[in-house]
């Protein structure tokens, strides 16, 4: 998986940060987005992030996810 890949969430992931559903649970399963970053360093030092893949779903909505929660879209 690399920056620019189109992905789909393939597992049940609930978030409470969706800008249109603030404070309400929002299910990400089957949502499609684009990988915009893979977090593997911070301030020039390597890190082992728990949720290393940043996916952009809309202009205002980005979420950090695990690689096993995503599948590539051909």
- The pLDDT tens digits for 7-48 are 999 999 999 998 888 889 999 999 999 999 999 888 989 988
Calpha distance 70→55 (Å, rounded)? 10
What is the reported pLDDT for 45?
Answer: 92
60: confidence class by pLDDT, cuts 50, 70, 90? very high
Decide: residue 40, CB within 10 A, 0-12 exposed, 13-18 middle, 19+ buried: exposed
The yes-or-no verdict on residue 74 having pLDDT over 90 is no
pLDDT reported for residue 16: 93
| Domain assignment of residue 1, yes or no | no
CA–CA dist 9, 24 (Å, integer): 19
Identify whether the C-beta of residue 30 lies closer than 8 Å to the C-beta of residue 65. Answer: no
> What's the pLDDT at 48?
87
Residue 55: inside a domain: yes
Q: How many Å apart are CA 39 and CA 5, to the nearest integer?
A: 15
Query: Which CATH number goes with the domain that contains 20?
Result: 2.30.30.50
pLDDT at 49: 85
Task: Provide the token pair at 1.
Answer: 């998986």
Write out the residue range of the structural domain in which residue 47 sits: 6-72
């Amino acid at each position: 998986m690399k920056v620019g890949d189109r992905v789909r969430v393939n597992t049940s992931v609930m978030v409470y940060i969706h800008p249109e559903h603030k404070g309400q649970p929002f299910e990400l399963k089957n949502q499609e987005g684009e990988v915009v970053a893979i977090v593997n360093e911070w301030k020039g030092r390597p890190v082992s992030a728990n949720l290393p893949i940043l996916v952009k779903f809309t202009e205002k909505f980005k979420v950090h996810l695990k690689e096993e929660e995503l599948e590539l879209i051909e």
